[in-house]
Chains A and B, each alone.
Chain A
Amino acid sequence: MSPAAIARLQSARDDDPTDVWEWYQFQRQILGEELSRAIALLSNSSGALEHRAERYFGKSHDELIELFAAQTRELDLLTMLGMLAATEGRLQRDCFSRVHQRLKDAVSREFRRANKRRVRHRQRLSLEEDILRVWKDNCSHASAKNAINDFQSLLSVRHWLAHGRFWLGKFGRGYDAQDVHVICSNLLQVLGI
């Protein structure tokens, strides 16, 4: 890895899925409050609307609910992508630091071996083929293996979101933002990252 790349990685942001989750809670609260304000406009039959509320003009109760449901759906999807990206960032930074600090544990040694192979082929370490594989091969607890499996199942959602949802997403189970938060936080916790 070049000195410039190392410097870039060392000064990188330290996003965490929980930060994204807290941001999401805040946005949900704001959306909920705005929905309450919009619904309250229905009982104001004087017809006078402040300029800010004109975006809701002419809408029925059901249409307001549908409008805010669509906002929440979009917020959920972007939050899921944000949490998956933050988790990937944490896994990548942990791997980088193990390789760079030449730690002696089995996982770090495996990461260094994988990194050497990748450098020879002018490639970067892959999240799926290197990082998650090494963790899976080197963890003895069933809970850690389950956490990795759960996260790997989510990667199809991550790819779908990150590539602009241009295909019809078919996932074994429907995930929402809370599922993704639980899976990502659990993974980082059991791996001690």
Chain B
Amino acid sequence: VAKETISDFFRQKGKATRPSTGTRESRKQEFLQALNKLFEQIQGELVDSDVEVDRDEIDVYEQSFGGYKAPRLDLVIGDEAVAFIPKGFNIVGAVGRVDVKGERGDGMLVLQPEGRWCVVQGTRPTLKLIPLTPESLLELLKEVMRA
């Protein structure tokens, strides 16, 4: 039996922990597509409002997957802003996450494997997710924005 070397050990470990290029790329593309859909959905809800919508790109870095550019969305209402910032797709219990940062607090949207965005209403004592709808988006905005 051949003796295991340090290089063998690290090669095995790398194989076990590093996702293949195909997996990396397909997960990233699914996340980016879902992000664009999400932001279009949110913008669609704001058609008849006075909200200023800014779309921009940010650099996201994820361990084992590397860096990539992803869209972000900012809503500006008067002197107040809410940012929808992508966190990544290598997330526990989800295939994507967007942090919602307001002036009064933060919220979180997660992408479920079936491609549905949900609002995280809490993780303790039990996990509570509700599907993203115009109503749940409104509740989320009320929570993170100034009263």
Residues of A within 8 A of B (CB): 38, 41-43, 45-47, 49, 51, 53-62, 64-65
Q: Mark B109-132, 1 if CB is under 8 A from A, else 0.
A: 010111000001001101100000
Given contacts A41-B92, A43-B19, A58-B97, contact A49 B127 (CB under 8 A): yes
* Shortest Cβ-Cβ A-B pairs, 5 listed: A61-B63, A47-B113, A57-B93, A56-B92, A54-B127
- The complex places the Cα of A179 from the Cα of B35 at a distance, in Å, of 48
**With contacts A49-B92, A59-B91, A60-B97 known, what are 6 further pairs, Cβ within 8 A?**
A53-B92, A54-B127, A55-B124, A57-B120, A61-B64, A62-B63
Determine the chain B residues whose CB is within 8 A of the CB of A42 once the complex forms: 90-92
Given contacts A49-B127, A58-B123, contact A64 B113 (CB under 8 A): no
A41 to B93, CA, bound (A): 7
- Nearest Cβ in chain B — how far from A63, in angstroms? 9
Per the bound structure, the CA–CA distance linking A47 and B69 in Å amounts to: 24
Indicate whether B27 reaches chain A with its CB closer than 8 angstroms. Answer: yes
Q: Which listed residue, B27, B87, B114, B127, touches A60 by the CB 8 Å rule?
A: B87
Across the interface, name the chain A residue whose C-beta is closest to B89: A45
Closest CB-CB distance, A71 to chain B, in whole Å?
Answer: 16
A58–B94 touching, CB < 8 Å: yes
* Nearest CB of B to A131, in Å: 47
Q: A45 with B27: in contact, given A53-B93, A58-B120, A61-B63 (CB under 8 Å)?
A: yes
**A47 in contact with B112 (CB, 8 Å):** yes
Which B residues lie within 8 Å of A47 (CB)?
93-95, 112-114
Interchain CA distance A45-B24 in the complex, whole Å: 12
